[in-house]
Structures are given as structure tokens and as C-alpha cells.
Amino acid sequence: MLKKIVYFLSSIIMPNMTVFIIYGFLHSFFSTLGWFPNENIEKISNFIILYLIPILLAYTGGASIAKHKGGVIASIVVLGVVLFSFSNMFLPAILIGPLVGWLIKKNDIYFKNNVKSGFEMIIISFSNSIITILLLFVSLYIITPLFEYVSYMIFFVTQTIIDFHYFPLISIFVEPSKVYFLNNFINYTFCIPLGMQEIHDSNRSIFFLIESNPGPGAGILFAFSVLGKNRNVKKFALNGALIHLFGGVHEIYFPYVLKNLKLFVPLICGGIAGTFLLVTFKGGIYSIVSPGSILSILAMTPPGSYVVNILVMFISFLVSFFISLFLIYIDNLTLNKYNKKKYATNVIKSTLYDSEELKNNHLDFNVKKKSTVQNNIIKQVIVACDAGLGSSALASNIFSRELKKMNVANILVSNSAINLLPNDPNILVITHKFLTERAKKKAPSSLHYSITNFLDVEMYKKIINEVFVYQKNNIQTTISENKNNIKLQTEKMFILSKENIFLNCTMKNKETVIQFVGEHLYKLGYVQKEYIDSMLEREKLSTTYLGECIAIPHGTLEGKKFVKKTGIVFVQIPEGVMFGDHKDDIAKLVIGIAANNNEHLHVVSKITNALDDPIILNNLMTTNDKKKIIKVFL
């Protein structure tokens, strides 16, 4: 349930995160207490925080349920809250948006099913208008006073806790929650609402620094860089500490804590120390920071608060650092020779990969590799995290670099939030092991890998070897393993002949191409006519465009029952036809495949080789001699 709440809040707030940051910069530089006071710009920043952000949040929530219509109506309804409230009302806006979207969606479904054809549009439009007006009254006369009271009570209770000096104890909850990837839940349900209310009243907020303070995590990483059991551990920890501090990627220190739960103690103590100073000396920043690096925190710091905010981060770092040093030192002393060796191995694996995780990954790969890597070529890698920002962006860059080092080409690498993952069998998804189950539910058709550290270069190499090097070499390996069997069944194998080849064709779109290919597979006796629909259905799941102007349309797994015998149809389209997901994915060579077993693999192997040889590829796209094409695929 908690994961669903986090996902729900993340899907509404993350698309609008840029607006929060823009407000922070405008307020930091141009407010009355900013660096360059400007009355007109300050009016704009006040409009953003009081009106624009709640309206955008309501629109996003409504659109997530009932598309554009739900978003527009939610934006109107939320006006009753934002225009007549003395508090910041973006938390009600988050709730109003999806609620309005749900009501509009239910209303549309009801009238579509219960109104005579031809009258639906006018009746739905009138009913939606009436619902909007009624909800506007509800937001104005019920929701507004209710949330005014709730906001006042929450702020009063929080201020009372601060006055009695108990507020720093909140780190007992915040720091462990971050390690278990609940940092977005803390931000969206606690820090942002209270922070926006406080900044509206006092021009800065301590709530924005509670979760984003990099000091405690940096203390643990630097402790490992000093007392790590070998050079690799020290190097990983030091690099991770720098990325954590200046890049704002907090997830880097999570594996160290999860491998040794005693390290929750320095995290919590560092957080308590920093929050105590924050409250005592009235520090704070203008807006939420994302990612939470030192640089972004200093950019959002008001004039006169630099010393306090730097002191908060530094003291929380020192407390965490020295307690971590002590705990690591005690562990090192108490281990016997056998346990020392085991401990050193585990610490290294905390930054690389552990055997159980690797075993699970092998199982996941072995179960899926024939169906995913052979039948659906992996063409894209997505590194996903909860928000799709710091950690996944960093990891995608590292993975892309390793692909280049290992000479693996034509693979698109990107990062994404988990809730935005596409469900595509041609995509490999990499996530932290605590997020993998969510990713699998969002993209069940994709191939998934779990990692424990986003800086895990060795694990990335392992994935590349298992998936992409396997993908490139497996076709030839399979042919080699079955070479004798194939020779014995030569009479059953298809032979590429001139009647299978069509040169200098012109096609309108990829559907026309697939229809053309399917019809000739049928005419040549390779398939039943139903296989054509299976090819079109397969293309709807994900494009069969390989890259380098080559596409290999084929049927679904269920469509194999319509294959009579293995065969291919080769179509040359000099002018090309758009076949992929991007405008540059133009196919000039389309090779339709029908296969029951592995007889077609040597053809696919030749296609793979052609991708690496521009001369062969150019000859295939330009030749008018069918014999030359047959020679390539012999």
C-alpha cells in the first residue's frame, strides 16, 4: 500500500519538479530578501507558488485518470481552493486532481453506455459542466476551510515539537526510510507541504534540508574510504562520496548500510546533529532541491544563511564519519581469520555484486534468454529508479560507456522513472534490487536485472557479456551445436532463391511492407494466411527495426502454428520506409521471416554480420543483381 502511495504521489509531482526549482531560483535571487530584489519578479514567483503549482498539480492528477479532459476540469475545480485560501494549497490540489479525474471518467463511461448513439457528446459535455460547477462549490466551501484547519493543526503541532526541541529526533524515521527508497514518500507527504507553507510565511524552510542533507551519507562513504579492507573498496567509497556530495546521488551509500545495519546508527546520529543545528540557528533554503547536492543546496540558500547551512552539513558529516569509523574498526578487530576473509569479500561485493543476487540474475536470464534474446532482440537498455533523475542518469552513462568499451553498437541506453517504463520485450531494464519488483509489474515483458550499486561497473560488464555478447554470438553457437543435425535435414531446409527476393520496391508505410512480405510468404507456401495478421500483431508489440536500415518482421510466438515450413522474403526499398519509433528509423532492407525451428538462424546471423560491415550493407541496399544477395546469405 505504501509503495502505491509513493508511486501515486511521484507520478503527479515529478513531472512538475522543474517548476519547484524555477520558483526556488526566482525566490532566491529576486525576492525582497534575495540577492537582487525585484518587485515584479517577486510577484511572478508568488504567483507560481500560490496559484500555478497547485493548478499544475491538479491538472497532472486529473489527466493521469481522465486524460486531458480530466486535467482541464481539475484545474478549474482547484481554483476554488487556491483563490480563497490563506495557506499554500498544493496538497489539496494533489488530492483534488485524481478525484476529479475519476469522477469525470466514471461519468463518461456511464453516459456512453446508457445514451442513444449520437447524443453522447452533448449529454456528456453538459453533465461534465454540471459536475465541474458542483465540485467548484465543494472545493470553495468545504475543502478550503477543512484544509485551512488541517494545515494550521499540522503546522502548530510541528512548531510545538520544534519549540520543545524534539524535532531533531525525526531523523530516527527519515534516515532509515531513505535507505529503503522511501525518500520520495518523505518529501511528498511531509517535507514539501510543510516547507511550502513555512517559506510562504518566513522566506525559508528547514524542511527542505531534512531529507536532502548529504552529510550523514557522506560520512559513511568517507569512513569506508579510510578503513576499507582493500584498495578497491576504498576507491569505490571515495568516488561514491564525491558523486554523492556534488552530484546529489544519495543512493550510492545505501548498499553499504544495507550490508551492515549497524551503520544506521551513524546515519541517524548525523541526521539528528544536523537537524538540531538547523533548528537552533534557523537555517533553511528557499525550495526543494533535486538532486540533493551541496551545489544545489548552496544555490537555494538565502543570503545570511550560508554559514548555518554549511555548518549543518559539515557537523552531520563529522558525526556520521567518526561513528562509522568506530563501528568499522570494531568489526575489523573482532573478526577471526576466516571471518576477515569472508567480511572483506562481502564488503567488496557491496560495491560490486553478491552471489545470491548474481544467482538470481542468472536464473532470470537463463529462463528468459531463449524467448527474449533470441526471439526479441534487445535493442534498448533503460536504467530505472524511483524518480528517474540522479542515480539512474549516472548509471545509464556508465553502462553506455561500458558498451562502447566492449564494442557493442546499436544499443540505445537511457534512464527513466519506474512508473514511466514501457512494456517492451526488446528492452532490458536495470534497477536496484529493492525496486525490481515494481519494475517487473510495470514492464512484465522486458528482461530485468537487479543491482545493489549504481556504480557497479563489474556487474554492468557481466550483464553486457550475458545479454549482448550472447545475443551476438548465440546464433552462430546454436548453428555450430546443431551443424550435424542440420546437414542431415538439408532437404527440409528452405533455400533462398530469386523468387524470394524483391528489388527496387516502393512502399507507403511499414504496414504495407509487412502485408506485402506476409502475402508472398503465403504465396510461396511457407505459411498459412493467418500468419500475416500475426506479423502485424507482433509489430504492434514493439518494432522489429534492427537499426542500420534493416527490419526483420515476423510473427508472434502464437503465430508459429501458422508456419508450414521455414522461409524468408527479402525486400529492397531504395527510398526507405519509416519502420521504427523515431523519424530516423528508416528501413531500406526488410527481411520477413517465418520459422518453426532454428533453420533460419544462419540468415539472421548474416544480417547481424551485415550490420557490422558497411560495404556488405550498402551492396544489399543498392544492388540490382539477385545473385549477389543470394551469395551473401549462403
Annotated catalytic residues are: 385, 554
Q: Residue 548 contacts by C-beta under 8 Å, 6 or more apart in sequence? A: 410, 610, 611, 617
Residue type, 182: L
Cell of 579: 519502420
Q: Residue 63 contacts by C-beta under 8 Å, 6 or more apart in sequence? A: 70, 71, 74, 97, 101
H/E stretch holding 360: helix 355-368
**Closest C-alpha to 151, from 19, 264, 41, 54:** 54
Distance CA(289)–CA(6), nearest Å, equals 18
Cell 477543512, located at residue: 146
Question: 61 near 34, Cβ under 8 Å?
Answer: no
In the three-class reduction of DSSP (H, G, I as helix; E, B as strand; rest coil), residue 503 is classed as: coil
- Residue 492, Cβ density class (10 Å: 0-12 exposed, 13-18 middle, ≥19 buried): exposed
Cell 526499398, located at residue: 573
Between β-strands 586-594 and 567-578, what pairing exists: parallel, antiparallel or unpaired?
A: antiparallel
Q: What are phi and psi of 589, to 5 degrees?
A: -125, 120
Distance CA(153)–CA(197), nearest Å, equals 12
Question: 369 near 448, Cβ under 8 Å?
Answer: no
Distance CA(41)–CA(301), nearest Å, equals 18
Cell 502454428, located at residue: 561
Cell 543483381, located at residue: 625
